[in-house]
């Protein structure tokens, strides 16, 4: 099977590429390297450097005629979307539509869209949150990702393109950028390795659903092969973890007794977040396999071995 992975030089995309190569698939990576890094790309994958919005990206799909496209490329910063909403929409909405058109023309069989959970659902009435909960995005980033979901699922019946959306919880693990949006594990690990204090905004009681990047890559591969999977599917643990507990677990893994500092709470920050993985179990046969403490230990080990990743000052994905 031939697969194109957009954003395949990024944090999540590069792990997806690794899984696909390991399973014997031919992989072509499409990435403009604005936040991705060439050295993350598996040596067995082909690398094409171009912008998602360019004619070159369309030509790539037409030339390669892949069986599957995994769309992981994105403008993924909530903060940047607030400052540059047009840029956010151009990448996440118009870039996705252009890619979908190319897939339809090339008769791609399967389109897997890597979306967001927390930014799509916003503050919810049900924890863990299922896929049929009303979507309440509160940032241009959340709106653009949800809009692209609708485009993907509209294209399915119109052009015979089997599409599925994976709404990810808070992904963490090796290769995550400590300067990136929502990369709290990478941020804390980087600062602790450098001997700096970590800052927790507010009382630290806010919760997030932390899912290990290797498990996410497994879910993407299962979505490629599943004939039943369609529509939105949460990729998450379903477990709430407070930022205080996260920090304590990370410090314990590193053998440190350093306490975190607390600062003012961020205005409008979501208080609770966890996504239900029930539909992923049903349709993909997938469940998170990596306990948080194990994932944290792997992340710290990676940043210890590859300090450049722990000190990079770039955006996520």
The residues carrying an active-site annotation are 141
Residues 6 or more apart in contact with residue 281 via CB below 8 angstroms: 287
Q: Is 230 within 8 Å of 154 (Cβ atoms)?
A: no
C-alpha dihedral sign at 302, 305, 307, 308: negative
DSSP assignments along 5-29, one per residue: EETTTSHHHHHHHHHHHHTT-EEEE
Query: What is the C-alpha separation between 268 and 138, in angstroms, rounded?
Result: 9
Query: What is the C-alpha separation between 43 and 41, in angstroms, rounded?
Result: 6
Residues 6 or more apart in contact with residue 86 via CB below 8 angstroms: none
Query: What is the C-alpha separation between 2 and 24, in angstroms, rounded?
Result: 10
Which of 192, 223, 226 is closest to 296 using CA atoms? 192
Q: Distance between alpha carbon 155 and the CA centroid of its chain, in Å? A: 22
Q: Is 236 within 8 Å of 128 (Cβ atoms)?
A: yes
Query: What is the C-alpha separation between 162 and 152, in angstroms, rounded?
Result: 9
Which of 211, 212, 233 is closest to 222 using CA atoms? 233
Query: What is the C-alpha separation between 120 and 127, in angstroms, rounded?
Result: 14
Phi, psi of 168 (to 5 degrees): -85, 140
Q: Return left, alpha or beta for 112; rule: phi > 0 is left, psi -120 to 50 is alpha, else beta.
A: beta
């Amino acid at each position: 099977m031939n697969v194109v992975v957009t954003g395949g030089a990024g944090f999540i995309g590069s792990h997806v590429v690794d899984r696909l190569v390991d399973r014997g698939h031919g992989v072509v990576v499409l990435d403009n390297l604005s936040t991705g890094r060439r050295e993350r790309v598996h040596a067995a994958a082909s690398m094409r450097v171009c912008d998602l919005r360019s004619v070159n990206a369309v030509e790539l799909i037409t030339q390669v005629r892949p069986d599957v496209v995994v769309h992981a490329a994105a403008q993924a910063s909530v903060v940047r979307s607030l400052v540059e909403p047009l840029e956010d929409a151009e990448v996440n909405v118009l870039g996705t539509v252009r890619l979908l058109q190319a897939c339809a023309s090339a008769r791609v069989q399967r389109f897997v869209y890597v979306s967001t959970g927390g930014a799509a659902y916003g503050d919810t009435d049900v924890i863990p949150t299922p896929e049929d909960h009303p979507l309440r995005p509160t940032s241009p980033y959340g709106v653009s990702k949800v809009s692209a979901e609708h485009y993907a699922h509209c294209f399915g019946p119109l052009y015979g393109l089997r599409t599925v959306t994976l709404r990810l919880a808070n992904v963490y693990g090796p290769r995550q950028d400590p300067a990136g949006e929502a990369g709290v594990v990478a941020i804390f690990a980087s600062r602790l390795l450098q001997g700096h204090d970590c800052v927790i905004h507010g009382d630290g009681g806010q919760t997030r659903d932390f899912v290990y990047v290797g498990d996410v890559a497994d879910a993407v591969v299962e979505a490629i092969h599943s004939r039943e999977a369609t529509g939105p599917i949460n990729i998450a643990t379903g477990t709430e973890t407070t930022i205080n507990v996260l920090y304590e677990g990370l410090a314990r893994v590193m053998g440190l007794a350093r306490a975190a500092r607390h600062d003012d709470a961020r205005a409008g920050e979501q208080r609770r977040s966890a996504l239900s993985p029930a539909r992923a179990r049903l349709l993909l046969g997938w469940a998170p396999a990596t306990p948080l403490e194990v994932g944290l230990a792997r992340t710290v080990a990676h940043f210890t071995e590859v300090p450049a990743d722990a000190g990079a000052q770039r955006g996520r994905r």
